[in-house]
Amino acid sequence: QAQAQLQQNELAYNRSKQLFEQKAISESDFENAKTVFQVSQADVKAALFNVESAEASLKETNENLAKTTIYAPMSGTISKLSVELGERVVGTAQMAGTEILRIADLSRMEARVSVNENDIVRVKLNDTSLIYVDAYPDQNFKGLVTQIANSASITGIATDQVTTFEVRIFLLEKSYNHLVKENQPNPFRPGMSTTVDIQTTTKPNILTIPIQAVTTRSDSVSTSASGLVEFNDEEKSASNESTSPSSKLREVVFVAVGDTAKMVFVETGIQDNRHIEVISGVGIDDEVVVAPFSAISRRLENGKLVNKVTPEKLFQPSRK
């Protein structure tokens, strides 16, 4: 309508201009026609602005309408449904939104563990890991370190604070393929409890012994050519006395020679929770004495008699 009115007023203005040039109309009539034409131009511009404003309002309304339908950002399985059909949810700018549901991709599982600050410096990306899930005892699964937190998590009160860093480990699918069944394609579920062994250093084909077989003794004793510790009479008489301040503690193991324990100085390498590498000191054919911690670290001495038992009876108390 504004555009049609503009065209009509433009024609009237052009006629008035020709008549004014021919001095057929007065100047005031010409000015009136000119003013009416300019007002029509302003009305058309205002109408265009109103159209643009209406289009913007329509776009915003369509966007708000689209938000009333919630689309999942990823494909997966609903692991938690917090709201049922018909319940009210909060989603305003002044209040926190309501969690409706959680979606998990059960085909790509990861373990999240807390690593102590003393150990985190040895953990690297792509380190191999063994993952133990409480739901599947006596089984372990393989994984790779994919994320290492840069910020620490501190728990506990001021006097008992524990500083840890979160490490994320991706489970390799081929390590749990044997658990996948037709009626249970996803053997793991979010929130399951796990324990992880991160292998920060690996060595193939090395000699290892149980870690409880290694203890420390003073280096003030001498060794024979075979590596076995030898005591002279003076050292034997002082073996139960405190070590000299100048002596140093060295790692030793006890080797069974017949029915006698012989102490051997050893050099150790990498270790895990159960075994430790032996670089030198004992050979692959040596029988290493393994006993409870108190027996190895305190009571066992060079030359004492040892009794061989099965592993099942090793930690059973002896009957007198």
For residue 248, tell me if it sits in a domain. yes
- Residues 172, 217 within the same domain: no
Region 156-182 average pLDDT: 85
For residue 94, tell me if it sits in a domain. yes
The pLDDT of residue 292? 84
The pLDDT of residue 247? 67
- Residues 237, 143 within the same domain: no
The pLDDT of residue 320? 45
Indicate the helix (H) or strand (E) that contains 195.
strand 194-199
The pLDDT of residue 157? 66
- CA 44/CA 3 separation, integer angstroms: 6
CB-neighbour burial class of residue 148 (10 A; exposed 0-12, middle 13-18, buried 19+):
middle
Least confident segment among 26-40, 50-64, 127-141, 303-317: 303-317
Q: Are 90 and 98 in contact (CB under 8 A)?
A: yes
pLDDT digits (tens, 9 = 90+) for 133-145: 999 998 999 999 9
Give just the sign of the alpha carbon dihedral 232, 238, 243, 246: negative
- Residues 111, 156 within the same domain: yes
Question: Confidence band (pLDDT; 50, 70, 90) for 148?
Answer: very high
pLDDT digits (tens, 9 = 90+) for 75-94: 888 888 888 888 888 766 67
Q: Is the pLDDT of residue 1 over 90?
A: no
| Angle made by CA atoms 288, 289, 292, in degrees to the nearest 5 | 140
The pLDDT of residue 224? 47
- Residues 185, 234 within the same domain: no
Q: Tell me which of 231 and 147 has the higher pLDDT.
A: 147
- Residues 241, 279 within the same domain: yes
pLDDT digits (tens, 9 = 90+) for 173-199: 899 988 888 778 888 888 899 999 998
Residue 135 sits in a domain of what CATH number? 2.40.30.170
Q: Are 213 and 289 in contact (CB under 8 A)?
A: yes
For residue 318, tell me if it sits in a domain. no
- CA 190/CA 170 separation, integer angstroms: 13
- Residues 177, 194 within the same domain: yes
Q: Tell me which of 42 and 168 has the higher pLDDT.
A: 168
For residue 195, tell me if it sits in a domain. yes
The pLDDT of residue 225? 42
User: What average pLDDT does the structure give for the chain?
Assistant: 82
- Residues 229, 255 within the same domain: yes
- Residues 223, 285 within the same domain: yes
| Angle at which helices 2-21 and 27-67 cross, to 10° | 160
- CA 131/CA 195 separation, integer angstroms: 6
For residue 131, tell me if it sits in a domain. yes
For residue 319, tell me if it sits in a domain. no
From the CA atom positions of the chain, what is the Rg in Å?
42
- Residues 17, 59 within the same domain: yes
**Domain's final residue, options 199, 230, 254:** 199
pLDDT digits (tens, 9 = 90+) for 282-312: 999 899 999 888 888 888 888 898 888 776 6
Per the structure, the count of domains in the chain is 4
Nearest to 164 by CA among 110, 111, 118: 118
List strand residue ranges (DSSP E) for 54-193, in order: 77-81, 101-104, 110-116, 128-133, 141-148, 153-155, 162-171
- Residues 81, 38 within the same domain: no
For residue 233, tell me if it sits in a domain. yes
The pLDDT of residue 236? 44
Q: What is the DSSP letter of 100?
A: -
**Any idea of the CA torsion for 228, 234, 238, 244, to the nearest 10 degrees?**
-80
For residue 303, tell me if it sits in a domain. yes
Residue 259: strand, helix, or coil: coil
**Domain's final residue, options 13, 37, 67:** 67
Percent of the chain with pLDDT over 70: 86
- Residues 38, 81 within the same domain: no
**Domain's final residue, options 199, 228, 261:** 199
Question: Confidence band (pLDDT; 50, 70, 90) for 317?
Answer: low
User: What is the domain extent for residue 63?
Assistant: 2-67
Residue 23 sits in a domain of what CATH number? 1.10.287
- Residues 215, 299 within the same domain: yes
